[in-house]
Amino acid sequence: MGDKLEKRHRLTMSWSYEKEEQWINELSRQGLHFKKARMISSFFTRDESVRYTYRLDYQTGQTNGGAKFQEYLDLYQDAGWEYVSSYGSTWHYFRKEWQPGEEPRLYTDRESLMMLYKRLQRVMGVMLFLNLFIMILNMVNLNAFFTERLWTIGIPLMILYLALFGVLGYGCWRMQQKVNQLKLHR
């Protein structure tokens, strides 16, 4: 019989993945241990006899079952990390048994952490420009439709696009702030 999964809801943005780590670590302190993630849901098992420190890593091109993915997992396993799960083949969850006074990290040097932030920033930037391109194509192709139904379709769609651009732009800015902060503390 499998472990009973408990569901928790939370929306975390990529630029604040550290808050996701803090949340999962706090739940582990309470006896809930991360199993898998979905878009706004995470699943946990209950075991109050153990506590873990969880960390997330963002890596693209890591397909479960491939040789490259196994090398990636082996690298962290050699450093004492246990692989737990992945979300979308990009966010990977690892854990170590919790030790008082220790705060283990996946990234132990500034350069690697800076590269992580730049990868996240690049993905958000590409998504921003891709959606800008899609918006322009929609506006050109559906020009007559938007002018006839400006208030029912055109304005709400523009508001959605502006919100999306705002979120992605803010994410790019936050990642740049983190990169700049690392550069200052060299």
Write the pLDDT tens digit of every residue in 80-129.
Answer: 999 999 988 889 999 999 999 999 999 988 999 999 999 999 999 999 99
Rounded Cα gap, residues 108 and 174, in angstroms: 21
Mean pLDDT score, 35-43:
90
Q: What pLDDT, in 10s, does the model give residues 10-23? A: 988 888 899 999 99
In this prediction, residue 141 carries a pLDDT of: 72
Condensed to tens digits (0 to 9), the pLDDT of residues 116-163 reads 999 999 999 999 999 999 888 877 777 766 666 666 677 788 889 999
